[in-house]
């Protein structure tokens, strides 16, 4: 493949470290699409004949069919997807195949292919995230009034609802989709025609190939076109954040479904057993989603380290962009699907959730708010008074709504029996009617709004 410059074959170790076909074969569809667009442009500009372009297109279609039906034989000696396709094209159509590489290099070819592949991956991930949001919003609507404890520091803090908690992840997924959309918009420029690094002396039409491949425009600088991997880094950064969001939820599922906590139940569909302990039901799907976040974050870190010291333009180091990225985006897509399945499958333990919501004096803030609102007490003073009342309830071993009125009045005489109207968990969540709050009517409205938005 190196023409006349080299007189002998590479050492087998060189061949081993240099080959990328084991992972860049995933780019076959994008490589063939870009080659067809390039050949059509070469014919339109008169650089090759229309007959040769027709032969090339037909040969590429044959190769696409061979790969998709499993008949294509990939050869590691040919290093990568580009040379494997070109070599097979030569076998199919002869010398016309040699004209395809006119006015391009593997440098702009791989940059184009990988942009197309990442763009396709982003579209798949966006669709998966939308399905995940729908599952969350549907479950949130069903459980808009299912009271559960809200936590800070993993301690019961204030009552919320299960629906409200789920909608928090809908919002996170929306930001994830926004980051992917931003990354997609920025990557959607075509490197094709930048050739090795300086452009080409042939009178090509870069706008034609850009349009044919769905890019908004050609990249403006040939050095940047072949040397840039920001589009991969940005996509991996969005992936890493999305994976962390999934991992946080997975951690909650692991905790909530444990026998000691018992807030949530997963069916056999998303749990596994033990080879030695017959009673076990392990939330392995959630645990694996949690673990895969490490692979995705690791892919981002790895590529950042590859790119940090590279001068312009293309360096062979950049071959390392694909294996980790392909693995990471595949892991993310699978994790999203697994989480979507778990959301649809999970069943909250409603009674246990409500009981847990009242533990730890979770309505103490409601008491402080009542003192401020009804007795015109400065909030800091109300906070101090409430703390004393909580201490009394703790010593008596009762919840705030079961503490005798006389005990409260011994601390603050102006307290009336009306205080008990705000001390139940149901009253607490109902009162959180501010925009974005946990009130069931808010949760229903937000869930319905999301479901309507996700239809479009």
* Residues classed as catalytic: 153, 274
155-161 and 189-190 strand pairing: unpaired
User: How far is Cα 177 from Cα 39, in angstroms, rounded to an integer?
Assistant: 35
C-alpha angle with apex 185: 179 to 190, nearest 5 degrees? 140
403 in Cβ contact with 396 (< 8 Å): yes
> What is the token pair recorded at 340?
């979507």
Neighbouring residues of 345: CB distance < 8 A, sequence distance ≥ 6: 266, 267, 269, 270
Q: Is 208 left (phi over 0), alpha (psi -120 to 50) or beta?
A: alpha
> What is the token pair recorded at 402?
């079961």
> What is the token pair recorded at 111?
């940059």
Q: Report in angstroms the alpha-carbon separations of 198 from 11, 206, 313.
A: 31, 14, 9
Site of tokens 């008949």: 71
Phi, psi of 145 (to 5 degrees): -110, 10
193 in Cβ contact with 103 (< 8 Å): yes
Looking at residue 271, the DSSP 8-state letter turns out to be -
DSSP labels for 394-430?
Answer: HHHT--GGGS-HHHHHHH-TT--GGGGGGSSHHHHHH
Q: How many residues does the chain have?
A: 456
Quickly list H helices, 257-363: 284-307, 321-345, 350-357
Site of tokens 């968990």: 425
């Amino acid at each position: 493949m190196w023409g006349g410059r080299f007189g002998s074959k590479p050492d087998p170790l060189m061949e081993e470290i240099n080959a990328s076909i084991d992972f860049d074969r995933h780019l076959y569809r994008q490589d063939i699409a870009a080659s067809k667009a390039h050949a059509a442009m070469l014919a339109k500009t008169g650089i090759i004949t229309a007959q040769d372009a027709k032969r090339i297109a037909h040969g590429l279609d044959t190769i696409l069919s061979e790969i998709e039906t499993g008949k294509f034989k990939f050869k590691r000696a040919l290093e990568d997807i580009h040379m494997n396709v070109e070599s097979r094209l030569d076998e199919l159509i002869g010398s016309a195949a040699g004209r395809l590489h006119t006015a391009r290099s593997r440098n702009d070819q791989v940059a184009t292919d990988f942009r197309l592949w990442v763009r396709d991956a982003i579209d798949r991930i966006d669709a998966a995230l939308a399905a995940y949001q729908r599952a969350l919003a549907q479950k949130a609507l069903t459980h808009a009034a299912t009271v559960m404890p809200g936590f800070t520091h993993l301690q019961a803090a204030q009552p919320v609802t299960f629906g409200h908690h789920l909608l928090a992840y809908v919002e996170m997924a929306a930001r994830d989709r926004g980051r992917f959309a931003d990354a997609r918009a920025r990557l959607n420029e075509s490197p094709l025609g930048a050739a090795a690094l300086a452009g080409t002396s042939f009178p090509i039409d870069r706008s034609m190939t850009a349009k044919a491949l769905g890019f908004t425009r050609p990249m403006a600088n040939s050095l940047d076109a072949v040397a840039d991997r920001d589009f991969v880094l940005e996509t991996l950064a969005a992936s890493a954040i999305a994976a962390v969001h999934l991992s946080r939820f997975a951690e909650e599922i692991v905790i909530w479904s444990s026998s000691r906590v018992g807030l949530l139940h997963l069916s056999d569909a998303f749990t596994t057993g033990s080879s030695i302990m017959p009673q076990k039901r392990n939330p392995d799907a959630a645990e694996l989603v949690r673990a895969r976040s490490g692979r995705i974050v690791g892919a981002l870190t790895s590529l950042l380290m590859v790119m940090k010291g590279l001068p312009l333009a293309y360096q062979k180091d950049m071959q390392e962009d694909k294996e980790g990225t392909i693995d990471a985006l595949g892991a993310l897509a699978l994790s999203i699907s697994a989480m979507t399945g778990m959301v649809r499958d999970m069943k909250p333990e409603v009674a246990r959730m409500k009981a847990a919501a009242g533990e730890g004096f979770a309505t103490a803030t409601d008491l402080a708010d009542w003192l401020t609102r009804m007795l015109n007490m400065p909030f800091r003073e109300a906070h101090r008074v409430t703390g004393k009342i909580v201490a009394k309830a703790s010593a008596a071993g009762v919840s705030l709504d079961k503490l005798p009125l006389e005990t409260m009045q011994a601390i603050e005489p102006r307290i009336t029996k009306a205080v008990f109207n705000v001390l139940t968990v149901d009253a607490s969540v109902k009162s959180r009617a501010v925009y974005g709050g946990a009130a069931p009517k808010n949760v229903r409205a937000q869930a319905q709004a999301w479901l309507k938005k996700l239809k479009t």
